[in-house]
Structure 1
């Protein structure tokens, strides 16, 4: 492990920011510019990077330029769920911010999410509004899958611009983007949880190597009696590549494997998952 937790105090920081990196040096530069910029959060926090066997100089760059960042280096490649769990296990913050390396945290986003959580302590997961790199809205909040939606997504190669009514409903394309509201789940690129909630849920399910672990975490959050909330006043940019939808490749295989396990795990073959619409 490299670096130190100089941002912590004896009682621990308010927030632990967990970042999983695998050869994302260029993305990390933008993320760290936002986290360490002049409008960074005033909340006490620590930043933990779990490096998944990068070969692009990421670790050396972070150590040289951001010595307060805690770096955990893997000895072998692990999945998204396992890496985030590792990061949380070595963290000490009261709140956990799961943050992808391809995210840019805009001013005030962290404070908005923590503030909402503090005003509504019964919630489970708070998710920001995500924007594409061109600052257009990114459809990052979703309803839970059904077999019909999965089939339609496969047939349309995951096209978010599809006019199909079932896909539009799944992607929540017609909801009020400016309103704080319950959602079934959101992309795991950026989400805040209280540590006690994360521990109650057992963290991410490490049987998901890549993809769908965010939907699974949110479904288990709802099942445990904690709401998943979209907080549009908190805004982040997410440079989302969606590599699994670029033809038949290894990432597509991970996607198929994960969604199959999701349906099996939650016994959803003949029923719909229970989310915010069942409140």
Structure 2
């Protein structure tokens, strides 16, 4: 039975996403079963057939053509500007596939007292669990990653940013933040937080949003009963994207901490990237070089930064 009270604004940001549209759209109705929903797509000037694919597979969607590659956060904000009345916002990457009943299982979690964001269990295209829960970035956690590796460090709350103990993914949990590809956000959270910070362009914007929500008294909750698939993973192989991710981590940290703490965070991050560069990892070599450039740390992220880094 479809609720006459709940309206979910489904927000998707596309960029050359033609090959992803059909499968995403096919997953929305089963994933949102039991709810009224409205699809708003912000397209960041795709050069392929994304717009045509949307017209074919999602003829009722509202499409906001950005006219440029404005970034993920800017796309979310532009879509929300035309979303209309809603009780919750479902933010999705175009390479996400919702499992049947996903939102039906997320919604009760979102209604838990003090909750602003609910996220599902994510698996990759091969069915493997994606470790999506994250702890707030810290100097010690960067060092733990550098010396122990993310897998081992993540087993300990103080030493790892990524929660890597898969037993923790078997039950509902509060997390500092979570991967931003699939997030159900309450209307109250959006009201308190405002929009997403467009200055990040790509990466760290979901970290910033969840930490601001926590600052405003609203938590992020993970639940394993809701399922989705996220195909993703570009930042692991692209030097340009990995560099942008690394620089944005410093930018985010500096906005929440003083100069001395930020300097220590930068040093720990440089140590990690430099050590990986020494064993031949090209993305880390590029990231370490960028960390040594005051101009790169100061400049506003954007497609020009990614293109130059790549």
Bin of the TM-score, shorter chain as denominator length: 0.7 to 0.9
Shift of 1:100: 0.6
Residue in 1 aligned with 2:216?
Answer: 224
**What is the TM-score when the length of structure 1 is the normalising length?**
0.83
C-alpha separation in 2, matches of 1:51 and 1:126: 25
Shift of 1:61: 1.4
Shift of 1:85: 1.0
Is 2:14 the partner of 1:21?
yes
For residue 233 of structure 1, the aligned residue among 196, 203, 225 is: 225
SS at match of 1:221: helix
Q: Report if aligned partners of 1:209, 1:258 keep a CA contact under 8 Å in 2.
A: no
C-alpha separation in 2, matches of 1:69 and 1:19: 10
C-alpha separation in 1, matches of 2:20 and 2:58: 15
C-alpha separation in 1, matches of 2:113 and 2:78: 25
Shift of 1:147: 2.4
- Cα gap change, 1:84/1:153 in structure 2, threshold over 3 Å: closer, same or farther? farther
Shift of 1:122: 3.0
Residue in 1 aligned with 2:81?
Answer: 89
C-alpha RMSD of matched pairs (Å): 2.6
Q: How does 1:245-256 map to 2 (within 5 A)?
A: 245-246=236-237, 249-256=239-246
For residue 265 of structure 1, the aligned residue among 255, 259, 276 is: 255
Residue in 2 aligned with 1:134?
Answer: 126
C-alpha separation in 2, matches of 1:185 and 1:267: 18
SS at match of 1:16: strand
Q: Which runs of 5+ in 2 are unaligned?
A: 263-310
Q: Report if aligned partners of 2:110, 2:221 keep a CA contact under 8 Å in 1.
A: no
Judging by fraction of residues, say which structure has more helix.
2
For residue 211 of structure 1, the aligned residue among 190, 203, 227 is: 203
Shift of 1:176: 2.2
SS at match of 1:124: strand
SS at match of 2:261: coil
Shift of 1:152: 5.7
Q: How does 1:30-69 map to 2 (within 5 A)?
A: 30-36=23-29, 40-69=32-61
- Cα gap change, 1:149/1:121 in structure 2, threshold over 3 Å: closer, same or farther? closer
- Cα gap change, 1:166/1:231 in structure 2, threshold over 3 Å: closer, same or farther? closer
List per-residue Cα deviations over 1:8-28 (Å, max 9, x = no partner).
x9x8x6100000000112222
Higher relative contact order (CA 8 A, sep 6+): 1
List per-residue Cα deviations over 1:88-132 (Å, max 9, x = no partner).
1111222100111010000010111123223x2531111111111
Residue in 2 aligned with 1:115?
Answer: 108
Q: Which runs of 5+ in 1 are unaligned?
A: 1-8, 272-279
Is 2:177 the partner of 1:185?
yes
List per-residue Cα deviations over 1:190-209 (Å, max 9, x = no partner).
01111221121012111111
Q: Report if aligned partners of 1:19, 1:49 keep a CA contact under 8 Å in 2.
A: yes
Bigger radius of gyration, 1 or 2?
Answer: 2
SS at match of 1:207: helix
C-alpha separation in 2, matches of 1:61 and 1:27: 9
Shift of 1:40: 4.7
Is 2:152 the partner of 1:163?
yes
